[in-house]
A = this chain, B = another copy of it.
């Protein structure tokens, strides 16, 4: 998990380099010729590996394009969220998710190429979301903890906790998608984590004061 890439043996470094070469070749080719007109053979040729090796790194052409799912932020950040207990369940979620996506920022070049593609090909965006299933479930567990922390009575009704945490997770992912599309629309700077906070803030504004129009 999140190994320090600087020094980890030749083998590890080579593997990382190959991985990046494949992603780079794939993203570049698709940006240039369009998703349908790029084959694994071609990607492999550019990345200078055999087509067979491509599939040692990625399970499909698409998975080389969409990137990995984020990881949950460190335990302290999670604890802070779980025991925040001021404002609604959603209030801290934007920050939490922002922290989670922060980790991806290291490879800006790939990040921007990918942003363009995910915007151009909604199918790829959908695949990326699908790839976050595990992350989604982890987040749901965190939310369940928060629900019980907010209202200890709930602990006696695990089914309700499950149902509510699911609903909130789905809604939070909705806000995340929104943040992502705003971020992708906006050619300029603005980091994703900021957009995330904005989207959650807007969600709060739309929902909570529904009567105080």
Contact = CB atoms under 8 A, between A and B. Distances in A.
Interface stretch (A16-24, A65-73, A170-178): A170-178
Contacts of A113: none
> So how many copies of this chain end up in the complex?
2
Given A129-B126, A173-B174, A206 B166 contact: no
Contacts of A202: 163-164, 167
B210 A88 contact: yes
Contacts of A177: 170
6 closest A-B pairs by beta carbon, nearest first, are A170-B174, A174-B174, A88-B210, A171-B174, A207-B207, A126-B130
15 contacts: A88-B206, A88-B210, A122-B130, A122-B133, A151-B213, A163-B182, A164-B202, A164-B206, A166-B178, A167-B175, A167-B206, A168-B206, A170-B173, A170-B177, A208-B211
Interface of A: 87-90, 122-123, 126, 129-130, 133, 151, 163-164, 166-168, 170-175, 177-178, 181-182, 199, 202-203, 206-208, 210-211, 213
Given A151-B213, A166-B178, A167-B175, 10 more contacts: A87-B210, A88-B206, A88-B207, A90-B207, A164-B206, A167-B174, A167-B199, A167-B202, A172-B174, A207-B207
